[in-house]
Structure 1
Amino acid sequence: MEKKKKIFLAAFLIFMLIMIWIGYDISKRTTFPGSKPQLQERITDQN
């Protein structure tokens, strides 16, 4: 491969690894909305 293609491929792989890491981090910090059956009670209690 040419040098430019290698640099592009390396940058792409680094970018994808960062995006996967960010997605994993966000998914660990949040919960799925369907897993909160008592959501209405939580909203009314906070107001």
Structure 2
Amino acid sequence: MKKNKIVFLVLAAIFALCMLWIGIDMSSRTTFPGSKRNLKERIAPSDTVKNNVKETKD
């Protein structure tokens, strides 16, 4: 193989490993939104919902 081709393959492999490492790091620090338990905002209605209900009753 030519020297340029070897250098390119080494740099491509390093880049691919870096991208894989970044992807694994990001995925380990985040959670799927659907896996969260019921948050306080989901259980209790917010102020905007209360205001909208009062406006429609008047």
Same fold (TM over 0.5): yes
In structure 1, the gaps of 5 or more residues are none
How many residues are aligned here?
Answer: 44
Unaligned runs of 5+ in 2: 47-58
Name the structure 2 match of 1:8: 8
Over aligned residue pairs, what C-alpha RMSD do you find?
2.3
TM-score under structure 1 normalisation?
A: 0.76
Which structure has the larger Rg over C-alpha atoms? 2
TM-score (norm 2): 0.63
Percent of residue pairs identical: 52
